[in-house]
């Protein structure tokens, strides 16, 4: 995982919008969130998380076949954030694309990558959830400004003969609720409106109907986890930890009541990071592993929900080792990865220099670099 250093506390927010720490903590469970600095972006946070995931898995960038970045705040419309990260890693044999399923995106991404591995078409996938949500917030809207934060998390998935990994998944969407949680952007039919807004929603800014999203979330979490458990032929008693999307502590508590389990079975770190959308599950997973709450052989579940509306649940048997065990040794591979990152930076520079040199040569040698039409004209 990777989060920005800058902390935005509830007290800081009191100076921006009419709210207070007590209300935010009581209604959401959030105390603070991280906010990206000027030189940080979705791709740079995603890259840092990806590099750490490669260290933990001890995988070289050239071994990656596929990079999926789940995000609602991509660096560009295109090139994809995944392609930027592919280049910075030096993952020269990887395909790369961004996936848009809002806060469910990470679970969707893990499912897509798992299916690609199981089909035999790839061996190794890097799935990243990365967001700079604070850049799409309307800071006048206290219903959303208090909820979201920035960050990234990543996992490496690898084909293995060890039984386990993803046991089942349930992916769902109900587009009829799309207007409850949205960020209108360049393809919107209302882009050319004089007031630059659509249905009263500001262009490129998040709009949310909080109470409706709250009701939707509490309904689908329990339902979809139960469906994923049935598919995996397991019961809730077989699950040692549920890593949910970190949106609101009250949503998690309601889901625990619906599933008739203790709230402690849910991993929660939203007090420190708020809602980081597609990044929240891998960030929470990383902290759960670091805290020794996930051990090899145990069954765990992910559940995501958000804009679309979309939701997704997944049951897994954890086969990864714990992070501390992996940190030692592997020095040579570590150095090879660092070399790959440096080389990737140089490749970009060399490409730029060769373009400049090519332009110079074309200007110096008459006839070179002209289009076929121009050449015909000269003839």
Q: For ligand COA, which residue of 25, 27, 219, 293 counts as binding (CB under 6 A)?
A: 27
CA R_g for the chain: 23
Stretch that binds ligand COA, among 19-27, 32-40, 73-81, 120-128 (CB under 6 A): 19-27
Count of H helices and E strands in the chain? Answer: 13, 14
Specify the residue, 104 or 169, whose C-beta has the smaller distance to ligand COA. 104
Tell me the closest approach of the beta carbon of residue 275 to ligand COA, in angstroms: 6
Closest residue to ligand COA using C-beta atoms: 210
CA distance 74 to 269: 24
Where helices occur in 245-330 by DSSP H, the ranges are: 249-259, 270-273, 280-290, 323-327
Pairing verdict, β 95-99 and 66-70:
parallel
Specify the residue, 12 or 142, whose C-beta has the smaller distance to ligand COA. 142
* CA distances from residue 114 to 124, 186, 304 in whole angstroms, order as listed: 9, 32, 17
User: Can residue 79 be called a binding residue for ligand COA (CB under 6 A)?
Assistant: no
Tell me the closest approach of the beta carbon of residue 20 to ligand COA, in angstroms: 6
CA distance 131 to 279: 6
Q: Per CB under 6 A, which of residues 185..214 are in contact with ligand COA? A: 208, 210-211, 213-214
User: Can residue 146 be called a binding residue for ligand COA (CB under 6 A)?
Assistant: yes
Tell me the closest approach of the beta carbon of residue 221 to ligand COA, in angstroms: 11
Tell me the closest approach of the beta carbon of residue 67 to ligand COA, in angstroms: 24
Site string for ligand COA, 223-262 (x = CB under 6 A): ------------------------xx--x-----------
Pairing verdict, β 32-34 and 7-9:
antiparallel
Catalytic center residues: 103, 245, 275
User: Can residue 94 be called a binding residue for ligand COA (CB under 6 A)?
Assistant: no
Which residues on neighbouring strands pair with residue 151, listed in sequence order?
131
Q: Count residues contacting ligand COA (CB under 6 A)?
A: 19
Q: What does the DSSP 8-state code read for residue 73? A: S
Specify the residue, 28 or 114, whose C-beta has the smaller distance to ligand COA. 28
Cβ atoms within 10 A of the Cβ of 200, count?
7
Q: For ligand COA, which residue of 79, 143, 164, 177 counts as binding (CB under 6 A)?
A: 143
Q: For ligand COA, which residue of 50, 59, 103, 229 counts as binding (CB under 6 A)?
A: 103
Max CA distance (Å), the chain: 84
Specify the residue, 143 or 164, whose C-beta has the smaller distance to ligand COA. 143
User: Can residue 306 be called a binding residue for ligand COA (CB under 6 A)?
Assistant: yes
Tell me the closest approach of the beta carbon of residue 323 to ligand COA, in angstroms: 27
CA distance 104 to 35: 21
Pairing verdict, β 201-202 and 197-198:
antiparallel
Query: CA 188, 192, 195 angle in degrees (round to 5)?
Result: 105
Sole residue written with tokens 């935010």: 24
Which one, of 241, 314, 246, 228, lies nearest residue 284 by Cα?
246
Specify the residue, 152 or 217, whose C-beta has the smaller distance to ligand COA. 217
Specify the residue, 88 or 148, whose C-beta has the smaller distance to ligand COA. 148
Which residues on neighbouring strands pair with residue 364, listed in sequence order?
none
Query: Could you report how far apart the first and last alpha carbons of the chain are, in Å?
Result: 61
Tell me the closest approach of the beta carbon of residue 215 to ligand COA, in angstroms: 9
Cβ atoms within 10 A of the Cβ of 291, count?
11
User: Can residue 177 be called a binding residue for ligand COA (CB under 6 A)?
Assistant: no
Tell me the closest approach of the beta carbon of residue 281 to ligand COA, in angstroms: 11
Pairing verdict, β 124-132 and 66-70:
parallel
Specify the residue, 57 or 242, whose C-beta has the smaller distance to ligand COA. 242
CA distance 239 to 297: 11
Stretch that binds ligand COA, among 22-30, 42-50, 51-59, 93-101 (CB under 6 A): 22-30
Where helices occur in 119-259 by DSSP H, the ranges are: 142-145, 210-232, 249-259
Stretch that binds ligand COA, among 21-29, 107-115, 218-226, 353-361 (CB under 6 A): 21-29
Binding residues vs ligand COA (CB under 6 A): 19, 23, 27-28, 103, 142-143, 146, 208, 210-211, 213-214, 217, 247-248, 251, 275, 306
């Amino acid at each position: 995982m990777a989060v920005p250093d800058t902390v935005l506390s509830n007290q800081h927010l009191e100076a921006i919008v009419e709210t207070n720490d007590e209300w935010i903590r009581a209604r959401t469970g959030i105390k603070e969130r991280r906010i990206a600095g000027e030189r940080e972006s979705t791709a740079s946070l995603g890259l840092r998380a990806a590099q750490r995931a490669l260290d933990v898995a001890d995988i070289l960038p050239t071994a990656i076949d596929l990079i999926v970045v789940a995000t609602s705040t991509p660096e560009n419309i295109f090139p994809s954030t995944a392609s930027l990260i592919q280049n910075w890693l030096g993952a020269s044999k990887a395909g790369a694309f961004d996936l848009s399923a809002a806060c469910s995106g990470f679970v969707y991404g893990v499912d897509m990558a798992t299916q690609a591995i199981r089909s035999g078409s790839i061996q190794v996938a890097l799935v990243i959830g990365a967001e700079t949500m604070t850049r799409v917030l309307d800071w006048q809207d206290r219903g959303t400004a208090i909820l979201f934060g920035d960050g990234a998390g990543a996992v490496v998935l690898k084909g293995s003969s060890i039984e386990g990994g993803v046991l089942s998944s349930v992916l769902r969407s109900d587009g009829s609720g799309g207007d409850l949680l949205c960020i209108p952007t360049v393809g919107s039919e209302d882009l050319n409106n004089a007031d630059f807004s659509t249905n009263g929603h500001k262009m490129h800014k998040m709009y949310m109907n909080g109470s409706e999203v709250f009701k939707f979330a509490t309904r689908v979490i329990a339902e979809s986890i139960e469906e994923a458990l049935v598919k995996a032929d397991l019961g809730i008693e077989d699950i040692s930890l549920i890593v949910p999307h970190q949106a609101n502590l009250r949503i998690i508590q309601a889901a625990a009541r619906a599933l008739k389990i203790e709230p402690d079975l849910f991993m929660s770190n939203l007090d420190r990071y708020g809602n980081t959308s597609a990044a929240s599950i891998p960030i929470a997973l990383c902290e759960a592993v670091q805290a020794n709450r996930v051990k090899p052989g145990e069954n765990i579940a992910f559940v995501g929900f958000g804009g679309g509306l979309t939701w997704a649940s997944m049951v897994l048997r954890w086969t990864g080792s714990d992070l501390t065990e992996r940190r030692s040794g592997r020095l040579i591979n570590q150095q090879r990865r660092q070399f790959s990152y440096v080389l990737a930076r140089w490749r970009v520079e060399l490409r730029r220099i060769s373009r400049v040199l090519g332009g110079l040569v074309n200007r110096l040698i008459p006839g070179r670099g002209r289009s076929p039409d121009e050449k015909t004209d000269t003839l």
